[in-house]
Amino acid sequence: MRKLLPFFLISLAFSFTVKIITNTDGISAFCDYCNSNITLRSGENVIENLKPPTTFRFSSFYGRGWVAPREVTVNATTTIYVVASMRATRVVFDTEPESADVYIIFGDGKVRVGETPFDGEVPIGRWKFRFEKDGYYPLEKFIDVKGGEKYSFNLKPKNLYTFITTPPASILIDGKVLGDTPVSTILRNGTHTVEFTVEGLLAKRVKVFVGKDSKPTTVSLRLPRVVKVKIDTDPKPVFVSFDKEIFRSPVVLKTLEGEHEIACWANGYEKMVKREIFKSNTSVKCTLVRNTHKIVFTREGTLTIDGSVAGYGRKFTVRSGLHLIEFSWDEDKRALWFSDIRSDRYISAGDDIGTVIVLLKSYMVDGKEYVGPGVVQIKAGRHMLYSSGMYIPFSIRGGEIKVLPSGKALFVLSDPLGMKVVVKDGESLKEIVTPGIMEFSGKASVMPVSGCKIKKIYSVGTEKDYGVVFIDSSCAGGKDE
């Protein structure tokens, strides 16, 4: 080892040392701090007492040879590797991906000669080249440089993950769409959330931990397939819950193969809940069973439910749900009301109670507010109806049914409830949702918007003050009067 000192006196405060290692004699270094040319020999050369910044400019064989690097600026103690040769030639280096640094390995160090795509001169002979790029493993190759060669290399990425699924799926990593499997990507260090969707349905969610400089990893997954499930019901339409998401029957759904929960329910029916495993396209039928309860009156009479006569007596069996109930006794006395039957009931039919059917949207009876049209049971006697600034006095007897302000009332009911229905009364058309009340002339035609044929109609066009339309929605499409 040879120590070379600057040719002028310098202060030793804050000084540093540079070690220059070369592969051959004949290399010179101009030191701007030293303001002199320093002749380097093969091996290790030490230059002491330098001040930052110091720049070295290298040349070889009196400027007639190839050298790298040509210029280096240093600010602290360091080691510089310099490679020189009398003969150099042009070569081409390409890498995938591009922008990789190209080095010649010399001793324990390396000398940068450029970056890819590289098209330049390197020394002739057998050299060890190294290609480096952030995020990729370095590649080292011994190459016999003769001149005119072209080399291409593929760099292997660090933290490369390849995802393969059966069936193919779309993949999201940390909420960002990556594409369809099979797909490869480079993941940064840390934990990532990876989601796989098949035909828009989330099939699987996994956590992937990526360590520093992880080796290429392949993740293979078997995902559930998409199947179609057709759900039909009797009666229909009714509410259908599929994995807690609510629809109306009949319905065709796309889901993933596996176990799922189906629930079907409607007013007046027992709720049906079942779990099934689907492995292929499947049809499911929910047949609902009516709930029934006993109702007992204080006297004998004729019971009419939803416009249909149920019979004469005191004790009756009625399916659960909301019903329009009429009870008549003593030949000329009647009571009418909506009743939500959910349990056994004991009902008093009193001689001192009358029924008012009010065909107004909002009104007050004896100061009590109601939202209509609606049915109000009230004690026999004189009363006051108020709506929109209009006062209507009226009187009612026990067992009497009266329509206010005047005319006839039409009750539109269905099984199940909640159907949209179009009522044609003369030349006018009105859409109503069951259960509904409207004024009509005494004869009307009715057609469900859903297109389901009316199976039963009671009391429309009679001499009563009100008529009842009951729609059985379990029938096929059509129209009736």
Is 473 a residue whose pLDDT tops 70? no
Is pLDDT above 60 for 264? yes
In the prediction, which pLDDT does 350 show?
79
Cα dist from 122 to 99, 106, 142, 144, 186, whole Å: 18, 13, 13, 11, 33
pLDDT for position 461: 42
Mean residue pLDDT of the chain comes to 87
Range 226-242 average pLDDT: 92
Q: What is the pLDDT of residue 63?
A: 81
Q: Is 68:45 a contact under the CB 8 Å cutoff? A: no
Tens of pLDDT along 434-468? 888 988 887 777 776 665 655 555 444 445 788 88
Are residues 443 and 462 in contact, defined by beta-carbon separation less than 8 angstroms? no
- Range 344-353 average pLDDT: 85
Instruction: Tell me what pLDDT residue 481 has.
Output: 33
pLDDT score at 450:
60
Residue 105 has pLDDT above 80, yes or no: yes
With cut-offs at 50, 70 and 90, classify the pLDDT of residue 267: confident
Residue range 249-265: mean pLDDT, rounded: 93
Q: Mean pLDDT across the stretch 300-310?
A: 89
pLDDT bracket for residue 478 (50, 70, 90)? very low
- Whether the domain at 2-85 and the domain at 226-287 fall into the same CATH topology: yes
- Is the CATH number 3.40.50 carried by domain 2-85? no
Q: What is the largest CA-CA distance in the chain?
A: 137
User: Collapsing DSSP states into helix, strand and coil, what is residue 62?
Assistant: helix
pLDDT digits (tens, 9 = 90+) for 114-144: 999 999 999 999 999 999 998 888 999 999 9
- Averaged over 314-339, what is the pLDDT? 89
Cα–Cα distance, 412 to 435 (Å, whole number) = 6
User: Is residue 479 predicted with pLDDT exceeding 70?
Assistant: no
Question: What are the residue boundaries of the structural domains of the chain, listed by start?
Answer: 2-85, 88-154, 160-222, 226-287, 292-404, 408-472
pLDDT digits (tens, 9 = 90+) for 42-76: 999 999 999 999 999 999 988 888 999 999 999 99
Coil, strand, or helix at residue 131?
strand
Dihedral (CA of 469, 473, 476, 478) sign: positive
Phi, psi of 32 (to 5 degrees): -70, -35
Q: Is the pLDDT of residue 2 over 70?
A: no
Has residue 187 got a pLDDT over 50? yes
> Distance between CA 420 and CA 469 in Å, rounded?
13
Closest CA to 256 of 207, 196, 208: 196
DSSP for 153-171 reads EEPPBTTEEEEEEES--EE
Residue 475's pLDDT is 40
CATH 1.10.10.10 at 226-287, yes or no: no
The pLDDT assigned to 453 comes to 58
Question: Which CATH code for domain 88-154?
Answer: 2.60.40.1120
393 closest CA partner among 383, 380, 402, 408:
383
Distance CA 32, CA 54 (A): 6
Predicted confidence (pLDDT) per residue in 159-170, tens digit:
889 999 999 999
Position 11 pLDDT exceeds 50: no
Rounded to an integer, what distance in angstroms lies between the CA atom of residue 279 and that of residue 256? 9
Report, as an integer, the average pLDDT of 100-104.
Answer: 96
What's the rounded mean pLDDT across residues 398-414? 88
Fold type of domain 160-222: Immunoglobulin-like (2.60.40)
